[in-house]
Structure 1
């Protein structure tokens, strides 16, 4: 007897929940006959969404990971998903498109975790360098793209690159400099020449001309020479590494005058 009453209660509950959907299906059937199918289908969708909320499938939590630079309120507005919204009504692709358009966001994934949670995973841009271009400074990321809204003064430790094409080649240059930790801190800036090669400005006023090809080999040769005879500690103005079989060194004006004087004295004696 008790089991029979319980079964009847379950059937009544299911009937109450299914009622709106049954009504919606009936509307569609009628609309098919009368030619108003689009309106009826919209009614079915609205009914299904409302029923899903009643069943507990509504947004109650939004979990975000990977957010470091992106402003919280800006992210909320771009997401466009509100607490209490039906889980099945969320357009995930549209939300993702809005989120990935934010300045600091490189990529994002947005998914539902039933019954009531939206999970957002951000991949933010990583500031790599400061780019000087046409008298202005910009923060660029690891793939050479400008990070809109990022202020250079907020990133004082970033490496300075100059000239057209410099941002796209900056990651490779910094990887090269990292191979010589004893020399890397001495490089103050790098100028991209003809979008093909680099000219490095070192402390002490020394300029290093790197070749277009075999750049790593040339830089490591310079590092070995500096370790062996302290080349970069001498009165040097320019070191040209562009020739594959030789290294061309230009002395400072003072060093040249001193050398000329020493040679003249040698001739007199």
Structure 2
């Protein structure tokens, strides 16, 4: 009988090829791991850690607060997520928009656009800057905007709010009744109050029906009789206290 001869040479070739492929894969994997370690070491190197943060455009937000809230100091510049930092910064009540840029090797620049104060609300604790939407954006004073005296019941702090309807009404009443106004008040019992130079007081509450309230007020102002108090919280049922002749 003639047997099938063994093929040891082909088996050795296959084994050698398999061993070579396996060895090549292991080597490639080791090179990849080594390269990754070197890359991480490079990206996390001390020379690329943020040491300088430049803040531009801030008037109300303190620079050290902005830097602290950004959270970028000490990070590798390659790990600074500029969009996430900007989103974090606009949580500050004074900041409307933020743009964050990275400059290699170790600097981050932050450009801010702050909210504009539209009125100043004065309490026993201090004066507070409020924007047109009623957001308290910080403490301080500002020339050229309406000032409101607050009488009890309204504790203010940055990030808090005053009634937005009143905040929006302020510039309108100042422009419309500039020659009559003595001061503006916000009282816990009455809400928004206009005080005229003759001592007349106009109660508007939270000015939620502001256009109707102004229409009634303008009609009252055409009257010849003297009055001291006008309650317009419900403009459909105004309450007028006149002065007896």
- What TM-score do you get using the length of structure 2 for normalisation? 0.58
Q: Whose RCO is larger (CA < 8 A, sep 6+)?
A: 2
Structure 2 stretches of 5 or more lacking a match?
A: 1-25, 156-160
2:211 is matched with: 216
Structure 1 stretches of 5 or more lacking a match?
A: 1-25, 260-269
Considering fraction of residues, name the structure with more helix: 1
2:62 is matched with: 71
Q: 2:181·2:195 contact (CA, 8 Å) conserved in 1?
A: no
Q: Map residues 1-269 of structure 1 onto 2, 5 A cutoff.
A: 29-30=29-30, 41=36, 43-48=38-43, 50=45, 64-79=55-70, 81=72, 87-92=77-82, 95-96=85-86, 99-100=89-90, 102=92, 104-112=94-102, 118-127=108-117, 128-130=119-121, 132=123, 136-137=125-126, 139-142=128-131, 143-147=133-137, 150-151=139-140, 154-155=141-142, 158-162=147-151, 163-164=153-154, 167-169=162-164, 170-178=166-174, 180-182=176-178, 185-191=181-187, 193=189, 198-210=192-204, 214-223=209-218, 225-226=220-221, 228-229=222-223, 235-242=226-233, 244=235, 247-251=238-242, 255-256=243-244, 259=245
1:8 is matched with: none
Distance 2:125 2:97 in 1: 27
1:215-267 CA-to-partner distances (Å, cap 9, x unmatched) read 223214423553x45x6xx642212335556654313xxx43xx3xxxxxxxx
Q: How many aligned residue pairs are there?
A: 208
- What TM-score do you get using the length of structure 1 for normalisation? 0.54
- Aligned-residue offset at 1:43: 4.5
